[in-house]
Amino acid sequence: MTLINEVMHKPLDPGYAEAAERHRLEGSRRAPARQRIAVVVVAVGLGLAVTTAASSLRAPQPEATRARTLLTEQITEQGDRSAALLASNDAVSREIARLRTQALGADDPALLEELARDELAAGTASVSGPGLRLTLTDAPTAQGDTGEADPDQRVQDVDLQVVTNGLWAAGAEAIAVNGQRLTVLTAIRSAGSAILVDLAPLTGPYVVEAIGDPAAMQTAFARTAAAQHLSTLRNTYEIGSDISAQDRLELPGSSRTRLSAATVPPPAEPAEPGEPALPEQPGRSTVAPGSQPPDAVDPGQGPGPDADDGARGAAGDVASSGQSNERDLS
Q: What is the pLDDT of residue 316?
A: 41
Phi, psi (rounded to 5 degrees) for 18: -65, -40
Q: Give the separation between CA 269 and CA 292, rounded to whole angstroms.
A: 22
Find out whether 122 and 183 touch, Cβ atoms under 8 Å. yes
pLDDT of 254 reads 81
For 131, phi and psi rounded to 5 degrees?
175, -160
Residues 6+ apart with CB under 8 A from 33: none
Q: What is the mean pLDDT of each run of 10 residues along the chain (330 residues)?
A: 66 68 63 70 84 74 78 86 84 84 82 84 87 93 67 90 94 93 88 85 91 95 94 92 94 73 68 46 36 38 39 41 48
Residue 324 CB contacts under 8 Å (≥ 6 apart), including other chains: 156, 157, 158, 161, 189, 190
pLDDT at 312: 34
The CATH number given to 130-142+151-254+302-324 is: 3.30.70.1880
Provide the residue ranges of all domains of the chain, joining segments of one domain with +.
Answer: 12-54, 83-122, 130-142+151-254+302-324
The torsion angle over the Cα atoms of residues 103, 104, 107 and 108, rounded to 10 degrees, is 170
